[in-house]
């Protein structure tokens, strides 16, 4: 129990750390990022040395191992996990209001995406050349530790374990910062109650930080004391980010069409929109219903913000989208209550 509860203590440590300022938290996160990259680069180096081509290419499609799914089905089934892995590439945009140079926002986004993509490709593919696919599938997490242990012995597993610990602590800190920034930015754009604009002397949005910390605390209780819920929360969180991703892509396409831009903007909008639709399809309708239920409470904050400004709450076609959200949320709640939809 004491091991499980470290997350609760660390959460509030992160809370008080961020209270001292987002920039202070960002500096600490930079240190943890560098520290966790060292084990990753060492893993890539040693797996390159131990890589065996015949192990890598053996039964690439999975037919030999009795797989009943073709390659497209396998890709579709891993889409949400892939999304989960890359959630956060928008981090530089979320905290962009604190950037000294606006050009750094785009650079950080592209550099972060490419760095993460390259590391994941190397880690995934090189592992398949060290241990067979069937054996990899049986490894418990963190599987990287077992792969490096296969090459270097026990200290290889220790190295990855230390890197994982640093990575989790750093991710905990950075994600709390990003989640805290979202209500603060929404309040500045008048779609969240104005109380969430409140900042302390260090520039930390304190009310937003409290809301974020409480939400994380509830999620941690669910993961810790309602066994087997981590993967479910992972899937739902990934599904919820798909809607904003799709809407951003669709809006990009709309701007390109409206401005008659037939260059890069139009093609980015088309490909991003199509890909967003594909992700929503691949994730499954039941996950979309679950995410709709969690979107519903957001209406409370939005309505309260509009009332504070004495402005119309919904304008034009917005009411139809709200009614649609309420309808599918109600349907999802009904399916949950009747046991026809499982978390």
Q: Nearest CA to 17 among 31, 29, 3, 5? A: 29
**pLDDT category of residue 206 using cuts at 50, 70 and 90:** very high
Calpha distance 235→238 (Å, rounded): 5
Cα 156 to Cα 47: distance, rounded to the nearest angstrom: 11
Quick check: 144 and 169 in contact, CB under 8 A? no
DSSP 145-189: HHHHHHHH-HHHHHHHHHHHHHHHHHHHHHHHHHHHHHHHHHHHT
Q: What is the pLDDT of residues 275-294, one digit of tens each?
A: 888 888 877 777 778 788 88
Q: Residue 195's closest CA among 181, 203, 183, 213?
A: 183
Tell me: pLDDT of 99 over 80: no
Task: Give CA–CA dist 145/160, Å, rounded.
Answer: 5
> Helix or strand or coil: residue 101?
coil
Q: Would you place residue 341 in the very low, low, confident or very high pLDDT band (cuts 50, 70, 90)?
A: low
pLDDT in tens, 15-45: 888 888 877 777 787 888 888 888 899 999 9
Cα separation, 290 vs 312, whole angstroms: 29
Cis peptide before 132 (omega within 30 of 0): no
pLDDT band at 273 (very low <50, low <70, confident <90, very high): very high
Cα distance from N-terminal residue to C-terminal residue, the chain: 25
Residue 205: DSSP 8-state: B
How many residues appear in the chain? 343
- The two structure tokens encoding residue 51: 């890589």
Which residues, in sequence order, are CB contacts of 260 under 8 Å at separation 6+? none
Spell out the residues 6+ positions from residue 193 whose beta carbon is closer than 8 angstroms to its own.
187, 301, 304, 305, 308
Average pLDDT over residues 144-154: 87
Using one digit for the tens of pLDDT, what is the confidence trace for 160-199?
Answer: 888 888 888 888 888 888 888 889 988 998 889 999 999 8
């Amino acid at each position: 129990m004491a091991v499980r509860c470290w997350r609760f203590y660390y959460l509030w440590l992160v809370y008080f750390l961020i209270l001292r300022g987002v920039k202070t938290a960002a500096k600490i996160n930079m240190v943890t990022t560098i520290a966790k990259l060292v084990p990753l680069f060492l893993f890539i180096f040693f797996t390159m040395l131990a890589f065996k081509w015949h192990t890598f290419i053996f039964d690439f499609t999975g037919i030999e191992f009795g797989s009943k799914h073709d390659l497209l089905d396998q890709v579709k089934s891993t889409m949400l996990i892939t999304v989960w892995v890359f959630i956060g590439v928008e981090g530089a945009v979320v905290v962009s209001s604190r950037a000294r140079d606006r050009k750094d926002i785009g650079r950080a986004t592209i550099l972060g995406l490419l760095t993460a993509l390259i590391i994941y490709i190397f880690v995934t593919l090189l592992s398949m050349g060290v241990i067979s696919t069937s054996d990899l599938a049986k490894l418990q997490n963190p599987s990287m530790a077992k792969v490096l242990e296969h090459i270097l012995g026990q200290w290889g597993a220790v190295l990855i374990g230390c890197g994982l610990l640093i990575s989790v602590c750093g991710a905990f800190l950075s994600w709390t910062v990003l989640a805290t920034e979202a209500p603060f930015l929404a309040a500045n754009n008048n779609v969240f109650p104005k109380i969430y604009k409140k900042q302390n002397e260090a520039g930390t949005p304190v009310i937003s930080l409290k809301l974020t910390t409480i939400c994380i605390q509830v999620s941690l209780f669910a993961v810790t004391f309602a066994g087997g819920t981590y993967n479910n929360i992972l899937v739902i969180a990934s599904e919820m980010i798909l809607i904003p991703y799709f809407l951003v892509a669709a809006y990009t396409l709309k701007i390109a069409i409206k401005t008659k831009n037939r260059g890069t903007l139009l093609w980015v909008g088309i490909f991003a929109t199509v890909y967003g639709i594909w992700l929503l399809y691949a994730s499954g309708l039941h996950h979309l219903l679950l995410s709709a239920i969690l979107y519903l409470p957001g209406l409370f904050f939005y309505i309260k913000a509009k009332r504070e400004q004495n402005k119309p709450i919904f304008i034009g076609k917005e009411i139809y989208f709200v009614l649609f959200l309420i309808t599918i949320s109600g349907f999802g709640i009904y399916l949950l209550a009747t046991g026809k939809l499982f978390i």
